[in-house]
Chains A and B, each alone.
Chain A
Amino acid sequence: MAQANDPFVSFKGVQKSYDGETLVVKNLNLDIAAGEFLTMLGPSGSGKTTCLMMLAGFETATHGDIELGGRPINNIPPHKRGIGMVFQNYALFPHMTVGENLAFPLNVRNMAKADVEDKVRSILDMVQMLAFIDRKPAQLSGGQQQRIALARALVFNPDLVLMDEPLGALDKQLREHMQYEIKHIHENLGVTVVYVTHDQSEALTMSNRIAVFDDGVIQQLADPVTLYEKPENSFVAQFIGENNQMLGTVQSISSGISTVKLDSGHIVRALAVNVSEVGSRTTLSVRPERCSISVRKSKEMSVLDARIEELIYLGDHIRCRMKVAGDDQFIVKVPNTSGQLGLEIGAVLQVGWQNNDCRALDFNKPI
């Protein structure tokens, strides 16, 4: 995503502490461009929701500035920020009808009655819920409530919309459907979206950029492709998608390729991403779908002996758990081609991958 000249939202050295002893958010610096869909992704307790709440104005930053459209908003109360927000449990007002819920942000802005009516109808039309205008929220299904909550956050034309795990309460199928719908609404309206989730597939589906949070720090900020293909540290590699991790010590680094001696004694070669010097400990990460079985060793390939421990048939591919270099949690996704059906438990074979697909990252004991 190309950065606009001036960021629309900007966190500058933001810190947040609730108890004065520990920092929930440690020195956050983040610029969000106008029209961008940015996702804050991370496990619970990683500080992502706190960041969102600071942006919305419900929490105050302990240190640092948050700017919106070039002006600091630290001292502006939430109702004057003009930010739309979708809550985890939708927070539709139960005593109002759908129509009244949607009219609420317009009425508090003293909009003329006829205009309110028009706006409410057009936004309901957009989310295809016009027929439900006189229902109470309790009479709607979870997916329908979700759409109304979305419409309510958009109806007063905010430039920025915040979403706090809005799809968390929906079932899998509906969640996927709503992901596309939110993505399309974002594309059509050109509104800036900051989205918080702990679901990585949700983040990958919708976002322009993803900020991966852990321990109050952004671990990596990148577009979905980069994040998956080129994780910069072992946490990101672990959190986004599946990966096989092996621990070892760097023996040499030459032209970006490091030679690593695994703890089991095997020697492999891997792309040096996050290793500084010879002799340092490292975590090697390789994606299961980048591994193949029964390959010959070559200059570009690393090959290790493997023993099949478990086979799970998944239709389009076979998930194959093997013991490789002393670790019996090594996963290989074998494409379901006619030649691969002879796999059986206990078979000893060779597993290999391109050196460029194996990334030498910071040392981190796998969970």
Chain B
Amino acid sequence: MADSHIAPLEPITAADGTPLKKKLAQALFRSKVRAVSLVVPLFAFVMVSFVIPIFALMWQGVYNERFSKYTPNLTEQLTSWDGLTEPDEALFAALVADLVVAKKERTIGRIATRVNQEYPGTRSLFTSTARKAKKLTPPFKESVIKVNKKWAKIEVWRAMKLTSQNLTPAFYATALDGRYTVDQGFVQQNENRQIYVTLFWRTFMISASVMGLCLLLGYPVAYLLATLPLRTSNLLMIMVLLPFWTSLLVRTTAWIAILQSQGVINDLLVTFGITADDSRFSLIYNMTGTIIAMTHILLPFMILPLYSVMKTIPPSYMRAARSLGATPTRAFIKVYMPQTIPGVGAGGLLVFILAIGYYITPALVGGQDGQLISNMIAYHMQKSLNWSLAAALGGILLSGVLLLYWAYDRVVGIDNMKLG
């Protein structure tokens, strides 16, 4: 009896003498190849259209070669400069040489924009100097400073030294309301220029409130869906899914019509005398509008996971709890609700992650204080064309979401999540 539990010393072999593990691998090889070849097209598509672009963009957040590419001489000189002593003649000579070429090649705008990102207000300094660069004569230090006194400021040169480094933490520093400097490393941005941390915090709070509201509104609906007779619950399900069949833009503009100060709700409130005509509520173009519209749009994403979990809870649990003496309320809280945790987790995480990156709705109804970080990312992508900063902001957002995901896994366990 005891002997049979001792593992054999030699590896088990198949009938023809090859080790069993090897034989098994051979036998499964064909089916593995078939399975892999079925997945390859999708995998390749996802790689090309999703994974690689994301990594490329993320890479831009820490790598920007725009300055060094168009100013080879100056970059060489700046690299050897320590950033603390006065800029010498060699630096100025390199500057003039590069400006002449940049003017001719029409790349001066790009150089100026790049340095302007680092040190705002220097754009015209570059473009105006470049126009006169051809006529400048040595010694260049004096002649350049003569063109514009700003060239004597060491901060301009420090900014250029920073932009000449291709691999730079400066964009992440900016995204976190800081500045990366040559002499002091990271420093806090001036108080009146701090916007991003506040924006991140607001995004987080709005997402959390939207998630909370969705849970509050979605839970009873999901419960009804799971417990009502089939005919009624099907009708209810269609009503839940109806928003999915309507354009996001249409739904958002519908909210504008309802919530604006001359809109349906305010008109009703005035009609019934709840509020005076001259003190109508501002329900839209602020944070309230963002939260209301986003809650409505994201509600199905909370209801569906909740419903799929509730559907699997047999009614006999509630009956058992009641037969054991629990009041309906107590049975619901003690027996039913704990079993819906996987659905709450899945729905909550889904809504939160969708909300944290939401763009179109806050852009349309957010006004000033209803803007989210995604609107700022879009601004830097489309308006200011500072893609590196946009990438840095996106990188922080992504790592925040991953951090939350990790925390959720630790607290609730990702295996406990049920999406359908």
* Interface pick from A82-90, A307-315, A342-350: A82-90
CB closest residue in chain A, given B324:
A105
Tell me the interface secondary structure of chain A in the complex: loop
Bound-state CA distance A84–B325 (Å) is 9
Tell me which residues across on chain B come within 8 A of A152, comparing CB atoms: 324
* Interface pick from A91-99, A170-178, A204-212: A91-99
Tell me which residues across on chain A come within 8 A of B334, comparing CB atoms: 104
CB distance from B50 to the nearest CB of A (A): 38
Is B314's CB under 8 angstroms from A91's CB?
yes
Tell me which residues across on chain A come within 8 A of B320, comparing CB atoms: 85, 87, 91-93
A78 at the interface (CB under 8 A from B): yes
Bound-state CA distance A79–B335 (Å) is 14
Tell me which residues across on chain A come within 8 A of B331, comparing CB atoms: 79
CB distance from B336 to the nearest CB of A (A): 10
Is B319's CB under 8 angstroms from A58's CB?
yes
Tell me which residues across on chain A come within 8 A of B324, comparing CB atoms: 79, 84-85, 104-105, 108, 152-153, 156
CB distance from A93 to the nearest CB of B (A): 6
B322 at the interface (CB under 8 A from A): yes
Give the contacting residue for B339; candidates A79, A83, A89, A94; CB below 8 A. A94
Is A108's CB under 8 angstroms from B317's CB?
no
CB closest residue in chain A, given B314:
A89
CB distance from A146 to the nearest CB of B (A): 14
Tell me which residues across on chain B come within 8 A of A162, comparing CB atoms: 323
CB distance from B332 to the nearest CB of A (A): 12
Known contacts A79-B328, A87-B316; is-contact A93 B335 (Cβ 8 Å): yes
Bound-state CA distance A104–B335 (Å) is 10
Is B325's CB under 8 angstroms from A108's CB?
yes
A56 at the interface (CB under 8 A from B): yes
CB distance from B342 to the nearest CB of A (A): 10
Tell me which residues across on chain B come within 8 A of A89, comparing CB atoms: 314, 316
Bound-state CA distance A109–B324 (Å) is 9
Bound-state CA distance A162–B323 (Å) is 10
B321 at the interface (CB under 8 A from A): yes
Give the contacting residue for A93; candidates B317, B327, B328; CB below 8 A. B317
Tell me which residues across on chain A come within 8 A of B327, comparing CB atoms: 79, 108
Bound-state CA distance A339–B339 (Å) is 65
Supplied contacts A93-B320, A108-B325, A108-B330, 20 more A-B pairs, CB within 8 Å: A57-B322, A57-B323, A58-B322, A77-B322, A78-B319, A78-B323, A79-B324, A79-B326, A83-B323, A84-B324, A85-B320, A87-B316, A87-B319, A89-B316, A91-B316, A104-B324, A104-B334, A108-B327, A109-B325, A153-B324
Closest 9 pairs between A and B when the two form their complex, measured CB to CB = A105-B324, A91-B320, A85-B323, A91-B316, A78-B322, A95-B338, A108-B326, A79-B322, A108-B325
